[in-house]
Structures are given as structure tokens and as C-alpha cells.
């Protein structure tokens, strides 16, 4: 009973904030999609839901820090399971895609920031640069993905989430490839 009371008090008094972004559950990775209004966050989330992933919150995510090491996001009770899609209006995700397509809450494991692409802008090409976003005093892995016509943003977010899952299991593709490249260059120069 003491443990339950402690957990309830911890949750009740946990630091809280809200973030303008859409939170999804992609193969167990809580992925918060952020960006300017109209950049395509909800459309991307809708495509992810069509692929079998889940919606936690659309447009506004309420976040609380639990046990000084975990950030958990949720939606308001009023908007849970609903999504606004420009041109379509408000849609009920659970009715359209089934109850499995909506989650009550999810830890935030990755933040993806959509930015409008402009010619000459810096785009990460190797994956060696690691960025974070600070939320309620905790650093969360973050990346920036430029949005431009023809890009399958849902596929990019899905792959970014799977890359993060691999990193959490101790596998870093970019560093692995970089190490192989260095070994190859050393071997070639012998």
C-alpha cells in the first residue's frame, strides 16, 4: 500500500507542461512530432496511424516528469482520440482505425521537429550529430527533418523511431558505419 501511495503522490505532484506537438507510439517508441502550425504534423501522424501505429495526442501534448527520469505525454480528456486534419476537419481516430489506434499516454523517447525546407539549409546526412531537446529538465533525443514536397514524412518519422529503438538497445548505425569507414581507411593506407 505504501508503494501505491508513493506512486500516486509522485504522479499527482509531478512537474507538468504542455508542448505544441503530436505524440505517437511507433513500435513502442513515443515520438513527439513538433513544428510550426500547418507544417504537416497531423497529416504525418494520420499516415503513421494508417500503418498501424497509435495516436496519443494531436496538436497539444500534456507532459509530466515522473521519477526524475521519464517524461510521459497525454492528451486532454476532451480531445483524446480526435485529430484535426486541414481540409477534412475533426476526425475520430478510434472509430476510423479501431481502438488500438489510440493510446492514453506514452513516454516521450524522441522529438522530431519538422522545419520548412529552404535551399542551402543544413541537413544532417550522417546521423553522427546528436541533438537533444530539454523538457522539464530532462534531455530527450531530438532531430530536425526538413519538410518539402515529395518527401514521405511518415516513412522518415517511422524509420527515425526505429533507429532510436536500436540506439536504446545499444546499436548506433551511424557510429558503426563510421567505425567501419575508419578501419577501411586504415587498412587501405597500410
Q: Are 54 and 78 in contact (CB under 8 A)?
A: no
Catalytic residue among 16, 18, 20, 27: 20
Residue 11 CB neighbours (<10 A): 12
Catalytic residue (choose from 122, 125, 188, 190)? 125
Residue 59 annotated as catalytic: yes
Instruction: Show the cell assigned to 157.
Output: 518519422
The answer to whether the CB of 116 falls within 8 A of the CB of 36 is yes
* 25 is a catalytic site residue: no
User: Are 180 and 174 within 8 A, CB to CB?
Assistant: no
Catalytic position from the list 41, 65, 103, 106: 41
Q: Is 18 a catalytic residue?
A: no
- The count of residues in the chain is 190
Helix (H) or strand (E) holding 153, with range, is: helix 153-168
CA angle 133, 69, 128 (to 5 degrees): 40
CA 21 to chain CA mean position, Å: 9
Question: How many alpha carbons fall within 13 Å on the CB side of residue 57?
Answer: 28
In whole angstroms, what is the distance from residue 71 CA to residue 139 CA? Answer: 10
Task: Round to whole Å and give the CA distance between 62 and 180.
Answer: 42
Q: Does the active-site annotation cover 41? A: yes
Q: Catalytic residues, which ones?
A: 20, 41, 59, 125
Amino acid at each position: 500500500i505504501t508503494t501505491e501511495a508513493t506512486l500516486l503522490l509522485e504522479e499527482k505532484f509531478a512537474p507538468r507542461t504542455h508542448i505544441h506537438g503530436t505524440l505517437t507510439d511507433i513500435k513502442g517508441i513515443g515520438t513527439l512530432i513538433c513544428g510550426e502550425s500547418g507544417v504537416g504534423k497531423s497529416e504525418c501522424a494520420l499516415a503513421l496511424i494508417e500503418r498501424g501505429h497509435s495516436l496519443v495526442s494531436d496538436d497539444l501534448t500534456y507532459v509530466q516528469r515522473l521519477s526524475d527520469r521519464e517524461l510521459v505525454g497525454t492528451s486532454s480528456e476532451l480531445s483524446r482520440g480526435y485529430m484535426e486534419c486541414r481540409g477534412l476537419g475533426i476526425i475520430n481516430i478510434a472509430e476510423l482505425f479501431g481502438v488500438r489506434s489510440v493510446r492514453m499516454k506514452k513516454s516521450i523517447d524522441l522529438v522530431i521537429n519538422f522545419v520548412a525546407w529552404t535551399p542551402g539549409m543544413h541537413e544532417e546526412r550522417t546521423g553522427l550529430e546528436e541533438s537533444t531537446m530539454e523538457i522539464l529538465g530532462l534531455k530527450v533525443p531530438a532531430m530536425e527533418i526538413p519538410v518539402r514536397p515529395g518527401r514521405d514524412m511518415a516513412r522518415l518519422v517511422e524509420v527515425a523511431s526505429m533507429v532510436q529503438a536500436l540506439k536504446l538497445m545499444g546499436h548506433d548505425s551511424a557510429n558503426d558505419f563510421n567505425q567501419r569507414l575508419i578501419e577501411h581507411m586504415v587498412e587501405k593506407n597500410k
